[in-house]
Amino acid sequence: MKKKLTEKEKIHYRTLETRENYPAFTCKAKSKEDYKEILSTDVYKIMFLDGTEPAFSNPLTDNKEEGIYPCAACGQPLFGSEAKFDSGTGWPSFYAPLNPKCVDFEEDYILFTPRTAVLCSCCNGHLGHVFDDGPAPTFFRFCMNGTALNFKK
């Protein structure tokens, strides 16, 4: 069962800790059927069927290079390397998105306890989850599937 968060509930996760020079992005989202045709089976499963990759399985988890992490489906810039940290969880983790408007949220109960799923605001693809146990300055841990992200230096 999934439920979109209300705007009031989303405020909790909308942080002002963002990159100053946020890259301009024009959303050109496609249908789920179109994404199924152009994405690999693994990427489609994680992003549009709410899958999760195994911990420590994606090379982006250990990536320390400077750059931007865009959505693997639509290309919207989502996270910057300056907000990336080693959470020890086995998934790429960030304390804030590039811009509060590039991500959306919904509650999911897949593990029988409510969690806050993070979605790309352009294509609505599932990226991962956000938790309240991250580092300063936001104290959030955006725990993302590396498969749902790309990396650009």
Q: Which residues of the chain have pLDDT under 70?
A: 1, 15-24, 111
Q: Which of 153, 13, 148 is nearest to 91 (CA)?
A: 148
Q: Are 129 and 115 in contact (CB under 8 A)?
A: yes
Residue 111 in tokens: 């593990």
3.40.50.10470, 3.40.50.2020, 2.40.160.60, 2.170.150.20: CATH of 2-16+25-148:
2.170.150.20
Q: Are 76 and 123 in contact (CB under 8 A)?
A: yes
The pLDDT of residue 11 is: 74
The pLDDT of residue 116 is: 94
The pLDDT of residue 18 is: 59
Residues with a catalytic annotation lie at 143
The pLDDT of residue 15 is: 67
Q: What is the pLDDT of residues 9-42, one digit of tens each?
A: 777 777 666 565 666 688 988 999 999 999 999 9
The pLDDT of residue 57 is: 97
67: left (phi over 0), alpha (psi -120 to 50) or beta: left
Task: Give the start-to-end residue ranges of the domains of the chain.
Answer: 2-16+25-148
The pLDDT of residue 35 is: 96
Write down the mean pLDDT value for the chain. Answer: 90
| Predicted model pTM | 0.87
Q: Which of 38, 85, 90, 83 is nearest to 59 (CA)?
A: 90
The pLDDT of residue 4 is: 73
The pLDDT of residue 90 is: 97
> 97-101: which pairs have CB atoms within 8 A and are 24 or more residues apart?
97/15, 97/18, 97/142, 98/18, 98/19, 98/22, 98/23, 98/68, 99/18, 99/19, 99/22, 100/14, 100/15, 100/16, 100/18
The pLDDT of residue 84 is: 96
Cβ neighbours around 119 below 10 Å, total: 19
